[in-house]
C-alpha cells in the first residue's frame, strides 16, 4: 500500500450504505472492473465513468453501513478510488477495506466535491489543497497496521500458514 | 471489575484474559457463507492451497436461488462445485434449506457460548441463543476456512433492559426498532448490545431472533440475549455437539445502560430511508402497493401465525399485492400443516418457497419507481427493494398483514377492531 495519496474529492454525507455503493442486483460477479461499472449506480448515476484513478471519497458518519458485501470496497477499488476518508465507518466495511487493501481513514474533513486532497498514511496527515487546511488522524492499532503493511489479510494468512508448515 | 458476555467469550476463545478495546485472534466454531459472498471466499481459499476445515464450514445458497438469471446460476454452481470438491457435509441445496440465518438456528449450529462468523451482516441473529456471532467479509471467511481463527477487537458493550408486559400486536420487531430509533443507525457502532429484562425472558425465541438480527441496523458487532431454559428446550435434540452458556458478571462494565418499559412500546414502522426513522404505525397512513412478509428478520412460523391471525377471512385490498416467503423449508411445511398458507392464498397473497427474494431487491417482488412497500424485512435504504424512487417501510408481521388488508399502513388494531 502506498504511503502518500493525492486525488480529487467525491463528497458524500452520512450513512452511505453498501446498497448505495453497489446495488444488490449487481452482486453477480466479484470482478472489480465489472463491479466498478455500477458503483453508486442509483445514488450517483454516471459516477462510475467519471472517477479518475486516485480519486478520494470524503464522507460523513457511518460510511459503508448495511450489508457485509465485500463487493462494495472492491467496486470502489475497481473504479479507481484510492482512499475513503470518513468521520466514522461501519465495522464490516472497515474490515473488508483493510483486508483487501483499500485505505480507510477516520477523520472529519471539511472539503467540497472536486477539491484536491493529499493523504499521508504514515504521518497521519490530510491536507486539502484549496483551503490549505490540515487534519490529523490516529494511526491504526498495531495489529491492524501490521495487516495494512503486509497488504491485507491474505498475505498475513499465507505467512501464518507458512509458519505452521515450517514448525 | 467484572466482564461482559463479549469480553468473556472472546477471552475464552482466544485463551487470553481480555477486556474491551484489545485485539485478539480467536477460535471460530463455525463459518457460514452464502451464494453471493461465497464465490469470492472460494477463490481466495483455493489460493492458500491448504485443506479446508470442512467441519467448521457451512454453505447456504439463499440470496439468488432458485437461480434468478445466468449470472446467479454461475454463482450457485460455484458453491455447489466447491461443496462437492471439498466434501462439505453442511451444504444445503435448494429444496432442503432456506434463508441462511434461520437455517443456522434450525440446524443446531447456533448455540450459547459459540463464536460464529458469517459472510452476511445479519449473522448477529444467533445472539438470540447466547452466541457471539458477527458478520464478516468474503476474504475473512476464506481465511477462517483455512485457519479456523479470526481477529476481533473486543467490543465495548451497551446494555438494554426491557421490563413489563407488551401490548397487543407488539412484537420483537417493535422492541428493536424502538431501540434503533432511540440510538440511531450508528448508535451501537463497533459495540456489543446485550438485551435482557423480564419482557425479553417472556418473548418467544422467534421474537428474540428478530431483535438480535437487527442489532446490525444500529451498527452493532453483535447483539446478545442471555440464554435461558427456552433456548435449551429449543436446542434439545437439535443442537450439534456440546455447548456452554456464558453470562455477564453482575459488576460488568457497560459503556451505556438503558431501561425500557414494555407497556410504552407500540407497533412501529421505520420509514424510508433508514431503520432509525421510526414512528408509531398508527401515525403513518401511507398508501401501499406491496406488502412483503418474510426474511431472516420475520419469516418464521410465529411471524406467519401473527400475520395469518389478522388475514383470516379478510382480503388483500385491491391494488395491493402481498408476497409471502417463508424463511426455510421447515417453516413452509409447518405453515402448510397449520393451514396458514391457505389463509394467505385465500386472502389473495402470493406464496413462494424460501429465498431471500425481494428483501435485498434480488428478485420476486421488485418495486417500480414511486412504489411503496410495507415489509417485515430489515433495511429500507434507497433502492433496497428496487427502483431508487421506491420506498420500503419496515414493520412487524402483524402490521404488514393489517396494512395489506387496509391498503395503507395502519396499526393492526384498526383492522381487527
| Residue A119 distance to chain B (closest CA, Å) | 25
Write out pLDDT tens, residues A88-136.
Answer: 999 999 999 999 999 999 999 999 999 999 999 989 999 999 999 999 9
CATH superfamily of A4-139: Aconitase, domain 4 (3.20.19.10)
Residues B317-336 have a mean pLDDT of 98
Locate the chain B residue with the closest alpha carbon to A45. B388
User: B5-260 in CATH: which number?
Assistant: 3.30.499.10
CB A92 within 8 A of CB A45: no
Q: Is A25 on the interface with B (CB under 8 A)?
A: yes
Q: Is A68 on the interface with B (CB under 8 A)?
A: yes
Q: Which pLDDT score is estimated for B122? A: 98
Write out pLDDT tens, residues B130-142.
Answer: 999 999 999 999 9
CA atoms within 13 A on the CB side of B59: 30
Q: How many CB atoms lie within 10 A of CB A155?
A: 13
Q: Which pLDDT score is estimated for A167? A: 73
B48–A157 CB contact, under 8 Å:
yes
Cis-peptide into B172, omega within 30 deg: no
- H/E run at residue B71: helix B70-85
- As a whole number of angstroms, the distance between CA A59 and CA A88 comes to 9
Write out pLDDT tens, residues B173-191.
Answer: 999 999 999 999 999 999 9
Name which of A20, A43, A70 to mutate to probe chain B: the one with the most chain B Cβ atoms within 10 A of its Cβ.
A70
Q: Sort out which chain B residues have CB atoms less than 8 A from A71's CB and list them.
A: 40
Q: Is A24 on the interface with B (CB under 8 A)?
A: yes
Gyration radius (Cα) of chain A, Å:
16
Name which of B139, B189, B274, B384 to mutate to probe chain A: the one with the most chain A Cβ atoms within 10 A of its Cβ.
B139
Q: Sort out which chain B residues have CB atoms less than 8 A from A24's CB and list them.
A: 360-362, 384
A68–B139 CB contact, under 8 Å:
no
Locate the chain A residue with the closest alpha carbon to B37. A69
Residues B72-87 have a mean pLDDT of 98
Question: Looking at domain B268-416, which of 3.30.499.10, 1.10.540.10, 3.40.50.300, 3.90.79.10 is its CATH number?
Answer: 3.30.499.10
Q: pTM of the predicted model, to two decimals?
A: 0.97
**Which distant-in-sequence residues (6+ apart) come within 8 Å of B46 by Cβ?**
none
Number of residues written out for chain A: 167
Domain ranges (residues) in chain B: 5-260, 268-416
Q: For residue B74, what are the CA distances in angstroms to A133, B44, B61, B137?
A: 49, 17, 12, 20
- As a whole number of angstroms, the distance between CA B354 and CA B319 comes to 25
Q: Sort out which chain A residues have CB atoms less than 8 A from B361's CB and list them.
A: 19, 23-25
| pLDDT of B126 strictly over 80 | yes
Specify the residue for cell string 421506491.
Answer: B390
Q: Sort out which chain B residues have CB atoms less than 8 A from A30's CB and list them.
A: 39-40, 43, 138
ipTM for this prediction: 0.95
**CA nearest to B226, candidates B208, B240, B239:** B208
Q: Sort out which chain B residues have CB atoms less than 8 A from A42's CB and list them.
A: 382-383, 388
Write out pLDDT tens, residues B186-245.
Answer: 999 999 999 999 999 999 999 999 999 999 999 999 999 999 999 999 999 999 999 999
| Residue B64 distance to chain A (closest CA, Å) | 9
Q: Is A146 on the interface with B (CB under 8 A)?
A: no
| pLDDT of A2 strictly over 80 | no
Specify the residue for cell string 402497493.
Answer: B289
Q: How many CB atoms lie within 10 A of CB A45?
A: 9
Write out pLDDT tens, residues A54-93.
Answer: 999 999 999 999 999 999 999 999 999 999 999 999 999 9
Each residue of B185-195: b (16+ CB within 10 Å) or e? bbbbbbbbbbb
Residues B42-58 have a mean pLDDT of 97
Interfacial A residues in 94-123 facing B (CB < 8 Å): 95-96, 99-100
Q: Which pLDDT score is estimated for A1? A: 67
* Identical topology for domains B5-260 and B268-416: yes
Instruction: Tell me, letter by letter, the H, E, C secondary structure of B99-167.
Output: CHHHHHHHCCCCCCCCEEEECCHHHHHHHHHCCEEEECCHHHHHHHHHHCEEEEECCCEEEEEEECCCC
B362–A25 CB contact, under 8 Å:
yes
Amino acid at each position: 500500500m502506498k504511503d502518500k495519496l493525492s486525488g480529487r474529492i467525491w463528497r458524500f454525507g452520512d450513512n452511505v450504505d453498501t446498497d448505495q455503493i453497489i446495488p444488490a442486483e449487481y452482486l453477480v460477479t466479484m470482478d472489480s472492473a465489472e463491479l466498478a461499472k455500477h458503483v453508486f449506480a442509483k445514488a450517483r448515476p454516471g459516477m462510475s465513468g467519471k472517477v479518475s484513478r486516485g480519486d478520494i471519497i470524503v464522507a460523513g458518519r457511518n460510511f459503508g453501513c448495511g450489508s457485509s458485501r465485500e463487493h462494495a470496497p472492491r467496486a470502489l477499488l475497481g473504479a479507481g478510488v484510492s482512499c475513503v476518508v470518513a468521520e466514522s465507518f461501519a465495522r464490516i466495511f472497515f474490515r473488508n477495506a483493510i483486508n483487501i487493501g483499500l485505505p480507510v481513514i477516520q477523520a472529519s474533513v471539511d472539503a467540497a466535491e472536486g477539491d484536491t486532497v493529499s493523504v499521508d498514511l504514515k504521518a497521519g496527515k490530510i491536507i486539502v489543497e484549496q483551503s490549505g487546511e490540515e487534519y490529523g488522524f490516529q494511526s491504526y492499532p498495531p495489529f491492524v497496521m501490521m495487516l495494512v503493511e503486509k497488504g491485507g489479510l491474505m498475505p498475513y494468512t499465507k505467512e501464518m500458514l507458512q509458519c505452521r508448515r515450517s514448525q | 471489575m467484572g466482564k461482559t458476555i463479549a469480553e468473556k467469550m472472546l477471552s475464552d476463545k482466544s485463551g487470553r484474559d481480555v477486556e474491551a478495546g484489545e485485539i485478539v485472534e480467536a477460535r471460530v466454531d463455525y463459518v457460514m457463507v452464502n451464494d453471493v459472498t461465497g464465490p469470492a471466499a472460494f477463490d481466495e481459499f483455493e489460493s492458500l492451497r491448504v485443506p479446508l476445515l470442512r467441519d467448521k464450514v457451512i454453505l447456504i445458497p439463499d440470496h439468488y436461488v432458485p437461480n434468478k438469471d445466468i449470472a446467479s446460476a454461475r454463482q450457485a454452481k460455484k458453491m455447489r462445485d466447491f461443496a462437492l470438491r471439498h466434501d462439505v457435509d453442511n451444504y444445503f441445496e435448494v429444496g432442503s434449506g432456506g434463508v441462511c440465518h434461520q437455517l443456522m438456528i434450525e440446524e443446531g449450529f447456533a448455540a450459547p457460548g459459540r463464536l460464529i462468523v458469517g459472510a452476511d451482516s445479519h449473522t448477529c441473529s444467533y445472539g438470540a441463543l447466547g452466541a457471539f456471532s458477527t458478520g464478516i467479509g468474503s476474504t475473512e471467511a476464506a481465511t477462517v476456512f483455512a485457519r479456523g481463527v479470526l481477529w476481533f477487537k473486543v467490543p465495548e458493550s451497551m446494555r438494554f433492559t426491557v421490563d413489563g408486559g407488551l401490548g397487543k400486536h407488539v412484537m420483537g420487531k417493535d422492541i428493536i426498532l424502538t431501540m434503533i430509533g432511540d440510538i440511531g443507525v450508528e448508535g451501537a457502532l463497533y459495540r456489543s448490545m446485550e438485551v435482557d429484562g423480564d419482557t425479553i425472558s417472556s418473548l418467544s425465541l422467534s421474537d428474540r431472533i428478530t431483535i438480535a438480527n437487527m442489532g446490525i441496523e444500529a451498527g452493532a458487532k453483535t447483539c446478545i440475549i442471555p440464554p435461558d431454559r427456552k433456548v435449551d428446550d429449543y436446542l434439545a435434540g437439535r443442537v450439534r455437539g456440546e455447548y456452554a452458556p456464558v453470562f455477564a458478571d453482575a459488576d460488568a462494565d457497560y459503556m451505556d445502560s438503558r431501561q425500557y418499559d414494555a407497556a410504552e412500546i407500540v407497533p412501529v414502522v421505520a420509514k424510508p430511508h433508514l431503520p432509525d426513522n421510526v414512528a408509531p404505525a398508527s401515525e403513518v397512513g401511507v398508501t401501499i402497493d406491496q406488502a412483503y412478509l418474510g426474511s431472516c428478520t420475520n419469516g418464521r412460523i410465529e411471524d406467519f401465525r401473527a400475520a395469518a391471525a389478522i388475514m383470516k377471512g379478510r382480503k388483500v385490498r385491491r391494488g395491493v399485492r402481498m408476497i409471502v416467503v417463508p424463511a426455510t423449508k421447515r417453516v413452509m411445511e409447518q405453515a402448510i400443516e397449520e393451514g396458514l398458507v391457505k389463509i394467505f392464498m385465500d386472502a389473495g397473497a402470493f406464496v413462494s418457497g424460501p429465498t431471500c427474494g425481494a428483501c435485498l431487491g434480488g428478485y420476486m417482488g421488485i418495486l417500480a419507481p414511486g412504489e411503496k412497500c410495507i415489509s417485515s424485512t430489515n433495511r429500507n435504504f434507497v433502492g433496497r427493494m428496487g427502483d431508487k424512487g421506491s420506498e420500503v417501510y419496515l414493520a412487524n408481521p402483524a402490521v404488514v398483514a393489517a396494512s395489506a388488508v387496509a391498503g395503507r399502513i395502519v396499526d393492526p388494531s384498526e383492522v381487527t377492531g
